[in-house]
Structures are given as structure tokens and as C-alpha cells.
């Protein structure tokens, strides 16, 4: 896949590099009760957009590898990290969407308090999983990007 002679993969990874950290940071803000109302929509939106961007990056990376007949151990490492990031982002997006609907929120501007959770048993474990998922995708995007940069610059 190319756009005016430029492979799409290097173009798409810029969206990944922007959206995944935005998703992770907004999810970490979502975990804080005081700011949950503010981070609710951005966290869910960035998580879904980040998962889609990672999916497109993986697809365009495979296409680039096939078109250019690329083969190296460093590239294989980048591919493995990309696959892990892909899985992690889809799981993270799913968990974030469940939290979006299950965790209570009230706009703090009016000074109101949060209502009861829709599924009270899930609230605290869900917030822990959201925070752990945010840290996991941050680490994975750094490791994937590092492996990709090494694949390009160390050959």
C-alpha cells in the first residue's frame, strides 16, 4: 500500500505514536474519580482510534514487508512487538468501553457526587484493569517503536 509512492506504514505509525499515548494518559486520568467526567469521552475515543490505527499499521507493515521482500531478525522482533501491541490495544479498547458505560460519573462543575455504579462489583477491579492496560500499551508502543527504528536504521 502506497500513497504517491510513499509506503503507508511510515505514515500510519505517526497516528499510532500519537493516539496510543493519548489513550493511555486519558485512561489514567479517567481512573481518578475527580477527573472521570472530563476524561470519559477522550479515553474511550482515543482507545478505539488507537486500536484502529495499530490495526492499520500492522496491516500496512505486513504489506510493506511482502512488497519489498524484507527479512531480518530485527524486523522480526518489530513484527512480534507490533502483534503484541495490536492484541493489547484491542483488549484495552474493549475494557475502556466497558468502563465507559459501567463506571459512574457526574459533572463536577455543578459540585455533584458520583451516583452508584451500574455494576458495583466491577467498578474497582475495572479501574485497576484500565490503569494496568494503559501502562501496558504505553510500554508496548515504546518497545514496538524502538524495534522498528532499529530495523530501519541498523540495517
What are the residue ranges spanned by the domains of the chain?
Answer: 2-153
Q: What's residue 74's pLDDT?
A: 86
Measured distance CA(130)–CA(22) in Å, rounded: 14
Residue 114: helix, strand or coil by DSSP? coil
Q: What's residue 100's pLDDT?
A: 92
Q: What's residue 154's pLDDT?
A: 81
pLDDT tens for the 155 residues of the chain, in order: 777 777 888 899 999 999 999 999 999 999 998 888 889 999 999 999 999 999 999 999 988 888 878 788 888 999 999 999 999 999 999 999 999 988 877 666 656 665 555 666 788 899 999 999 999 999 999 999 999 999 888 86
Query: What count of other Cβ atoms lies within 10 Å of the Cβ of residue 52?
Result: 16
Chain-centroid distance, C-alpha 50: 5
C-alpha cell of residue 67: 512488497
Nearest to 49 by CA among 29, 25, 20: 20
The number of residues making up the chain comes to 155
Alpha helices in 2-109 (DSSP H): 8-31, 36-68, 73-102
Amino acid at each position: 500500500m502506497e500513497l504517491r509512492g510513499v509506503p503507508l506504514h511510515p505514515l500510519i505509525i505517526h497516528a499510532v505514536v500519537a493516539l496510543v499515548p493519548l489513550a493511555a494518559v486519558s485512561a489514567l486520568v479517567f481512573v481518578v474519580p475527580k477527573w472521570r467526567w472530563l476524561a470519559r469521552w477522550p479515553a474511550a475515543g482515543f482507545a478505539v482510534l488507537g486500536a484502529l490505527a495499530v490495526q492499520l499499521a500492522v496491516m500496512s507493515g505486513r504489506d510493506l514487508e511482502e512488497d519489498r521482500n524484507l527479512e531480518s531478525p530485527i524486523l522480526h522482533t518489530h513484527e512480534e512487538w507490533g502483534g503484541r501491541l495490536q492484541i493489547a490495544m484491542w483488549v484495552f479498547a474493549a475494557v475502556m468501553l466497558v468502563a465507559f458505560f459501567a463506571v459512574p460519573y457526574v459533572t463536577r462543575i455543578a459540585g455533584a457526587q458520583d451516583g452508584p455504579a451500574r455494576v458495583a462489583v466491577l467498578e474497582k477491579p475495572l479501574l485497576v484493569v484500565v490503569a494496568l492496560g494503559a501502562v501496558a500499551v504505553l510500554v508496548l508502543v515504546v518497545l514496538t517503536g524502538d524495534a522498528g527504528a532499529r530495523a530501519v536504521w541498523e540495517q
